[in-house]
Amino acid sequence: MQREPLAIRSIQVISGLVLIVWLVLPLIPLAIWSFARGWRFPSLLPQAWSLKAWEYTLSDTAGVLDSLWLTIWIAVCATLLSILIGVPAGRALGMHKFRGKALVEMIILAPVIVPGIAVALGIHSVFIGLGLTNTVIGVVLVHLIPTLPYMTLVMAGIFANYDPAFEQQARSLGASPLRTFWHVTLPAIMPGIIVGGLFAFLVSWSQYVLTLLIGGGRVVTLPLLLFNFVSSGRNDITGAIAMIYILPGVLILILTARQLSGRSGAVGGFGRL
Amino acid sequence: MTRVAITNLSKTYPGAATPSLDSLSLEIPSGEMTALLGPSGCGKTTTMKMIAGLLEPSGGDVTFDGRSILRDKPEDRGVVMVFQNYLLFPYMSVAENVGFGLRMRKVPKAQIAGRVARMLALVQLPDLGNRKPSELSGGEQQRVALARALIVEPKVLLLDEPLSNLDAHLRLEMRDLIRGLQKQLGITTIFVTHDQEEAVVLADRVALILDGQLRQYDRADQFYKRPANEAVARFFGGQNFVRGRSENGMFQSVLGPMILPDGVARGAGTLTCRPEAIRIGAAPVNALSALVMDRLYMGTQTRLRLRVGETDLEAVLSPDVVDGIAPGQTIQISLPPQSLWVMT
Amino acid sequence: MSDRTTIILLLLPALLVIGVLFFGGLLIGVMRSFNYMPVIGLTTPNLDAYAAVFADPEFYWSFLLTFHIAFTSTVISAVIAIAAALLLRRSFVGRGLISFLFQLNLTVPHLVGAIGILYLFSQSGSFARLAAEMGLITRPGDFPAMVFDPYAIGIILQYIWKEVPFIGVIVLANMQSIGHDYEAVARSLGASRWQAFRHVLLPLIFPGVLSASVMVFAFTFGAYEIPAVLGANYPATLPVLAYRSYTDVDLAARPEAMAMAVVIAVLSAIMIAIYIRATRRGIRS
């Protein structure tokens, strides 16, 4: 394209700068609070700095670490189950045409769009009868509602670009179905499983209201703890937990930056984080 | 009618070490059809986008009838570019596509409808106005793209590989349509192509660009008869090259003395003779005896690989002429003087 | 094994999980909202819960507020996202940084964003301190209420913060696959820069914008934790109200909570219908 007039170029530069500032702005007070010791109105910066909030957060007595491990454990379980169930379903949707496919897609897509609270109340009253409320298993199960559709849709995209001729070639060379899957299919879809899995992990990692309802306040994951501290006005500890809480996302971003470009369709699930 | 002059036009993309287009100069006569020919990546599409105002040149100038247009916005230049893949707007009907340029110029709706209908008739698609582009064949899409460009009565029409997306039989039909419309409307037209056949059948003049530089700018037949150098000759399918000297109408080389046509410059050079010009049988002048190395049947033609002394030659002949000639045989051939040309 | 059997076997686990958990949960919710629970002896469905919900003025305020939040956030986010995508698709200094921040932002949970907005915009937050520094206000109470406020400004700001990158990334990918050539055609046919955007690029990206916006609308309509952190007590948003009724000590309020959950579900079902039509149109063109 032709070079823009100066006015348009300067508008671009200015709006770029505003965008950059706006995107990082909400994270700044959180980071500052985690190192603050007393930060009363109207000081622009804390009167004193300290590591107290971090010491507390990382101590054994505060329960933050327990909560961290619990959150990781739940997210890992939900992710693995989603992979186990979502990969076959993704294969069916990505590689096959069949009657009722649009309906199946809609069924799988529905939980991505319908808010969790709309179904969580009903699930809760069923889980009471099954003894699954206030348990980790119950929370893992309910986390499947957002993670499984997500994993399935990512895998459907992967399988849509996968050529089944490789499998037929392997079979004609004498490989059993199981060996074909292990040596041909799995290596081909592995990058998709890893990326989809990491994002499914993040989806579970970010759940709040499903954990709150089904866990009944007994299964205290990191976001529940974060909510408690923000409600009780402990801004310094809130800041520290928030920093810990966004860490996996940053790590996963660095690992998979190329996959997040939006073209992969993987982004779809992030609206719900 | 618009005369287009390109002077020292250059483009170096940011970060690139070598220019994509290096100081191109061309004069395109008013109302003529000119081909920019070259392999992909030689800078020809870059040239077109710079004329259209879609890309900014690094240097040089483009003038229409002597007036520089580089400062004009793309929409004010009177240049319309038709892309190779047509790029019909998918959510608009055929008629809306054709009328697009008029709508952008705020021409009244009633007037647009009439002009669209006339233009669709001109490209021989009178009844397709309500269709969506996705319902058209490739050839039909090409016509719609052409109609969409011509309706705004451009001073200069730019076509990107106009025939290359079409089947063999459609190419001829489209060639006639484009030639006919261009002559009828008298629009100065520039098109780019990588296919020498497409250039030759469509263009009045051809500009051959190799490695970002203009190698020859001439009437189409001259590229076969009088190529500027070996690279140009090879691009147009030339095969036979013999080094030597031209003196007093004769060419001295390992093949022995050859009679040249009139008008060949003196001095050291390379003799070339098109494969299809080589004759079989005894001849009074420029006769040679050649060993048949190989023969390759190609349907309507047969290709013979010949050796004269240490020199390899290729001849393309009609199959009935080579009947009974087999590899290993020695045959008489001749290089008719009027088919010879010496490049320096 | 026939193709049909294979497909059924491949899909079965996923459909079972989603069917039982999601649709089961939905169904139970609907049944309870009609006071129909054969297990505990309620065998005649009635509309008592809905009557109670629809008789309560708080429900209407809550519905209006929730709709206002979802609609305003979605429209503003979509407009800014399109502008940001237009900016990001051309090369300029800082493009890499913005793209990285967009992606970073996608991974940050909404709850963290909500707390960040709280610390920025509350009456003792960073902006209030800045205003005090500049001598504009003397007490926190002088700073305009932007969180816990009746217009839900803080909630909308946090949604804009999170959803501009979400829609932006989708629109940008959309624009990149469309390329610049359609606009180049339009320009060479005489369209101005604005006309090329308005008549060519915008219609081309519209299906993508619409489907992303529908997801954002449904999410912002049904989210709980963001209004719980940033919202006023009265009126609360519909999800907050539903959660409150459900956890009320008075168990009689539960069917009312379910009725509100059903309202949220119905609205998102409408969104799904729009989404499907949008993606269909997108695929066709």
Q: What is the ipTM of this complex?
A: 0.90
Q: Of C104 and A258, which is predicted with more confidence?
A: C104
Identify the residue among A1, A3, A4, A9 best suited for mutation to test binding to B, counting B beta carbons within 10 A and taking the highest. A1
Tokens of C262: 């059903």
Contacts of B74 in chain A (CB under 8 A): 2
Of A24, A110, A208, the CB nearest to C22: A110
Of C181, C184, C285, the CB nearest to B90: C285
Cis preceding linkage at A42, omega within 30: yes
Chain A: residue whose CA lies nearest to C27: A122
Say if the Cβ atoms of C271 and A113 lie within 8 Å.
yes
Overall average pLDDT of the A34-57 stretch: 90
Tokens of A35: 């190192």
Q: How many CB atoms lie within 10 A of CB B18?
A: 9
Asked if B74 reaches chain A (Cβ–Cβ under 8 Å), the answer is: yes
Contacts of A3 in chain B (CB under 8 A): 56
What's the confidence (pLDDT) of residue C271? Answer: 81
Identify the residue among A67, A117, A222, A261 best suited for mutation to test binding to C, counting C beta carbons within 10 A and taking the highest. A117
Contacts of A2 in chain B (CB under 8 A): 53-56, 73-74
Say if the Cβ atoms of B105 and C190 lie within 8 Å.
yes
| Ranges under pLDDT 50 in chain B | none
List the subunits that have 3+ CB pairs under 8 angstroms with B: A, C
Contact A246, C109 (CB under 8 A): yes
**First CA to last CA across chain A, in angstroms?**
37
pLDDT-derived band at A141, boundaries 50, 70, 90 = very high
Asked if C204 reaches chain A (Cβ–Cβ under 8 Å), the answer is: no
Contacts of B73 in chain A (CB under 8 A): 2
What's the confidence (pLDDT) of residue A73? Answer: 97
Say if the Cβ atoms of C188 and B54 lie within 8 Å.
yes
Of C184, C190, C203, the CB nearest to B101: C190
Say if the Cβ atoms of C261 and A109 lie within 8 Å.
no
Identify the residue among C2, C21, C155 best suited for mutation to test binding to A, counting A beta carbons within 10 A and taking the highest. C21
Say if the Cβ atoms of C161 and A235 lie within 8 Å.
no
How far apart are the C-alpha atoms of B307 and B303, rounded to whole Å?
A: 13
> pTM value?
0.85
Contacts of B55 in chain A (CB under 8 A): 1-2
Contact B48, B84 (CB under 8 A): no
Asked if C69 reaches chain A (Cβ–Cβ under 8 Å), the answer is: no
Overall average pLDDT of the C107-126 stretch: 94
Over the stretch C71-94, which tens digit does the pLDDT of each residue have? 999 999 999 999 999 998 887 777
Q: Residue A262 pLDDT more than 50? A: no
Q: What DSSP character marks residue A4?
A: P
Please give, rounded to a whole number of angstroms, the shortest distance from the CA of B306 to a CA of chain A. Answer: 45
Say if the Cβ atoms of A245 and C109 lie within 8 Å.
yes
pLDDT-derived band at C114, boundaries 50, 70, 90 = very high
Asked if C242 reaches chain A (Cβ–Cβ under 8 Å), the answer is: yes
Contacts of A271 in chain C (CB under 8 A): 163, 166, 212, 215-216, 219
Over the stretch C48-73, which tens digit does the pLDDT of each residue have? 999 999 999 999 999 999 999 999 99
Scanning C154-193 for CB atoms below 8 A from B yields 181-182, 184-192
How far apart are the C-alpha atoms of B143 and B94, rounded to whole Å?
A: 10
With a CB cutoff of 8 Å and minimum separation 6, the contacts of C17 are: A85, A144, A148
Contact A153, A92 (CB under 8 A): no
What's the confidence (pLDDT) of residue C118? Answer: 95
Q: How many pairs of residues across B and C have Cβ atoms under 8 Å apart?
A: 65
Contact C206, C279 (CB under 8 A): no
Distances (CA, A) of A100 to A97, A112, B277, C146, C282: 9, 19, 66, 48, 20
With a CB cutoff of 8 Å and minimum separation 6, the contacts of C161 are: A22, A23, A26, C105, C113, C116, C117
Please give, rounded to a whole number of angstroms, the shortest distance from the CA of B56 to a CA of chain A. Answer: 5
What's the confidence (pLDDT) of residue B96? Answer: 94
Q: Residue A259 pLDDT more than 80? A: no
Please give, rounded to a whole number of angstroms, the shortest distance from the CA of A11 to a CA of chain B. Answer: 20
- Give Dmax (Cα) for chain C: 78
Say if the Cβ atoms of B101 and C200 lie within 8 Å.
no
Starting from the edge strand earliest in sequence, which strands make up the sheet with B67-68, in order? B21-28, B4-11, B59-64, B67-68
3-state secondary structure chain C: CCHHHHHHHHHHHHHHHHHHHHHHHHHHHHHHHCCCEHHHCECCCCCHHHHHHHHCHHHHHHHHHHHHHHHHHHHHHHHHHHHHHHHHCCCCCCHHHHHHHHHHHHHCCHHHHHHHHHHHHCCCCHHHHHHHHCCCCCCHHHCCCCCCCCCCHHHHHHHHHHHHHHHHHHHHHHHHHHCCHHHHHHHHCCCCHHHHHHHHHHHHHHHHHHHHHHHHHHHHHHCCHHHHHHCCCCCCCHHHHHHHHHCCCCHHHHHHHHHHHHHHHHHHHHHHHHHHHHHHHHHHC
Q: Of C3 and A266, which is predicted with more confidence?
A: C3
Q: What amino acid occupies position B98?
A: V
pLDDT-derived band at A198, boundaries 50, 70, 90 = very high
pLDDT-derived band at C120, boundaries 50, 70, 90 = very high
List residues in chain B touching C: CB distance below 8 A: 49, 52-54, 73-75, 77, 79-81, 83, 85, 87, 89-91, 100-101, 103-105, 134, 148-149, 152, 158
Asked if A125 reaches chain B (Cβ–Cβ under 8 Å), the answer is: no
Q: Residue A271 pLDDT more than 80? A: no
Please give, rounded to a whole number of angstroms, the shortest distance from the CA of A224 to a CA of chain C. Answer: 10
What's the confidence (pLDDT) of residue A4? Answer: 66
Say if the Cβ atoms of A1 and B54 lie within 8 Å.
yes
Asked if C103 reaches chain A (Cβ–Cβ under 8 Å), the answer is: yes
Q: DSSP assignment of A196-231, as one string?
A: HHHHHHHHHHT--HHHHHHHTTTS--HHHHHHHHHH
Contact A101, C11 (CB under 8 A): no
Say if the Cβ atoms of C112 and A13 lie within 8 Å.
no
Please give, rounded to a whole number of angstroms, the shortest distance from the CA of B150 to a CA of chain C. Answer: 9
